[in-house]
Amino acid sequence: MPRWFNISGPCIPEKHYMLSATVRLPNLTRLIRQESYFVIHAPRQTGKTTAMLALAEQITSMGEYCAVTLSVELGNAFKDDIGSAESAILATWRRKITNRLPSELQPPDWVEGPPGQRIQANLSLWAQHCPRPLVLFIDEIDSLENQVLISVLRQLRDGYSERPKNFPSSVGLVGMRDVRDYKVASGGKERLNTASPFNIKDRSLTMRYFNEKEVVELYQEHTKDTGQVFTNEAAQTAFNLTLGQPWLINALAKEIVEELVTDTQITITAEHINQAKEILIVRKDTHLDSLADRLTETRIKAIMEPMLAGDTLGNTPDDDRQYLVDLGLLRREPNGGLVIANPIYREVIPRVLTQGASDSLPSITPTWLNKDGELDIDALQNAFMDFWRQHGEPLLSTTSYQEIAPHIVLMSFLHRVVNGGGTLEREYAIGNGRMDLCLKYKKVTLGIEVKTWRDKTKDPEEKGLDQLETYLARIKADYGWLCIFDRRSNAPAFIDRLQTRNATTKKGRNVVIIRA
């Protein structure tokens, strides 16, 4: 049976296109030899489990250690019932150990004991009977919560001093987040603000994404099996859109070879990659849907909202910013600035936020198209003004992101415009005080600069015109809109502040200033 691109669960070499499972992991040799306890964290669907399973098998096969990867995910069903969680965890561990290790390395029968001590007792028993030092990778550790999580961490910490003869020599906690962000609803807190009760960790490490060369190599695995070629431009486009996020790299290819281009005689091009990208974004597959669900979290909203508006992050806690990086929503650029993790996420996030407003929109007749089906810019401007006059104010309440509510409603309207055959691209960056939108419809390109006028700030028109000038030059457009949303507490009434006028930039580009 031919292999396929995998987007669910660990990869299996016989079934899935994949590269060396451990090549993207940091080198753990020193930590294991130093009998260290450590954390490996990376966003969901990056290949952590696949890599840890392969690493454990590799370590065991070398004959010096007994290594195994075991999950605690089944304990998630018992958030505060420590005894039941331990029973579920130990039962699944027994099954996995039997399948993954030779009989001489397997532990004796698990022993019973009081809740809160059974994992420590059985790991101790296993270490005593195992002929080799025991290396344990505990996967999905951050699926545990509350008292169950605290109990497991404390049992590991308590046994730490007994290693290597009476407890695992080295333990790696594997999950999506670092220890400080494990969910604990106790003591008035929602997470561990310090490493305690796992203050024995030596290092927190992460697993990197694919680089450009590895994307090419992965896609070539498909070519080896089927003869179907991905052009270099296709692989480069996939990398540019995803910046190497493994699930996205696989999902793009899977959509193409299984749905868009099933004839293996047809070469896969950059255009196919772009088509697959649009399909994934609109369909919001599991990975993208779970990503979108997090946007309502208070910690995430506090950072995403000013980012989308182009504002500074103010005094948001450093831990909260790092939390979004750990989740894979944001990434740090080489100069230290925070940006959305990749271009696909950059599209998914605003589309999710506009969904409520989009669903609330009335039926809108596309009066912005001429008799030839081309976009009439003047008609589009009139249509938007009529729409905003009738529906703008009530639609502002359809999102929890109130600081950028006008942006969201504007984008919802523009999505109706491009659904007929165009695209809407967005750019935003911290500290620029703006959102840039590029609407493309057949031969027409419209650049839109979105600014917000808030209390204690001056009218943003002058700066906005300069920024629009720069943006239009970058997207090679000769015409644009400057949309200024007045959000001051003493702003005129909604209907009174709605106005438009023509203007000219310093370099002679004709633009329209829309105030709302």
pLDDT tens for each residue of 405-458: 999 999 999 988 888 678 888 887 676 777 899 999 988 999 999 999 988 889
Pick the range with the lowest mean pLDDT from 142-146, 356-360, 491-495: 356-360
- State mean pLDDT over 312-341: 86
Comparison of pLDDT for 136 and 507, the residue scoring more: 136
Residue 487: strand, helix, or coil = coil
Quote the pLDDT of residue 337: 82
Among 196, 93, 194, smallest CA distance to 137 is for 93
* Region for residue 78 given its phi and psi (left: phi exceeds 0; alpha: psi -120 to 50; beta: otherwise): beta
| Beta partners for residue 422, in sequence order | 441
Quote the pLDDT of residue 257: 97
* Two structure tokens written together for 333: 């650029």
User: What is the C-alpha separation between 373 and 379, in angstroms, rounded?
Assistant: 13
Element (H, E) at 272: helix 270-283
User: What mean pLDDT is reported for the chain?
Assistant: 90
Among 434, 209, 487, 154, smallest CA distance to 310 is for 434
Percent of the chain residues topping a pLDDT of 90: 61
> Mean pLDDT: which of 111-125, 273-287, 356-370, 424-438 is highest?
111-125
- State mean pLDDT over 491-502: 89
User: What is the C-alpha separation between 389 and 384, in angstroms, rounded?
Assistant: 8
| Beta partners for residue 40, in sequence order | 174, 205
Quote the pLDDT of residue 122: 98
- State mean pLDDT over 272-286: 87
Cα Rg for the chain, rounded, in angstroms? 27
* Two structure tokens written together for 350: 């605003």
Domains parsed from the chain with CATH numbers: 29-206 (3.40.50.300), 212-283 (1.10.8), 354-515 (no CATH)
Quote the pLDDT of residue 130: 97
The answer to whether residue 174 scores a pLDDT higher than 90 is yes
* Two structure tokens written together for 118: 């059974």
| Helices 270-283 and 246-255, axial angle in degrees (round to 10) | 110
Kindly report the backbone phi and psi dihedral angles of residue 325, in degrees, each rounded to the nearest multiple of 5, phi listed first. Answer: -70, -45
Pick the range with the lowest mean pLDDT from 85-94, 269-278, 407-416: 407-416
Quote the pLDDT of residue 214: 97
Quote the pLDDT of residue 75: 95
User: What is the C-alpha separation between 288 and 267, in angstroms, rounded?
Assistant: 27
- State mean pLDDT over 380-400: 89
Going by pLDDT thresholds of 50, 70 and 90, the confidence category of residue 191 is low
Quote the pLDDT of residue 229: 97
Going by pLDDT thresholds of 50, 70 and 90, the confidence category of residue 188 is very low
Comparison of pLDDT for 228 and 289, the residue scoring more: 228
Q: Mind listing the pLDDT tens digit for each residue in 108-148?
A: 999 999 999 999 999 999 999 999 999 999 999 989 988 89
User: What is the C-alpha separation between 345 and 234, in angstroms, rounded?
Assistant: 19
User: What is the C-alpha separation between 24 and 6, in angstroms, rounded?
Assistant: 17
User: What is the C-alpha separation between 41 and 13, in angstroms, rounded?
Assistant: 23
* Number of H-type helices and E-type strands within the chain: 18, 15
Quote the pLDDT of residue 186: 42
Q: Is residue 475 within 8 Å of residue 494, measured between CB atoms?
A: no
Going by pLDDT thresholds of 50, 70 and 90, the confidence category of residue 221 is very high
The answer to whether residue 190 scores a pLDDT higher than 60 is no
Q: Is residue 405 within 8 Å of residue 336, measured between CB atoms?
A: no
Q: Is residue 331 within 8 Å of residue 339, measured between CB atoms?
A: yes
Element (H, E) at 514: strand 510-515
The answer to whether residue 228 scores a pLDDT higher than 60 is yes
* Region for residue 123 given its phi and psi (left: phi exceeds 0; alpha: psi -120 to 50; beta: otherwise): alpha
Among 482, 475, 422, smallest CA distance to 451 is for 482
| Beta partners for residue 513, in sequence order | 482, 501
Comparison of pLDDT for 1 and 447, the residue scoring more: 447
User: What is the C-alpha separation between 280 and 246, in angstroms, rounded?
Assistant: 14
Quote the pLDDT of residue 185: 46
Element (H, E) at 446: strand 444-453
Q: Mind listing the pLDDT tens digit for each residue in 37-55?
A: 999 999 888 999 999 999 9
Comparison of pLDDT for 281 and 198, the residue scoring more: 281
Quote the pLDDT of residue 515: 94
Quote the pLDDT of residue 307: 87
Give every CB contact of residue 83 below 8 A, 6+ residues apart in sequence: 115, 116, 118
A 10 A CB-CB count for 1 gives 5
> Mean pLDDT: which of 257-271, 276-290, 359-373 is highest?
257-271
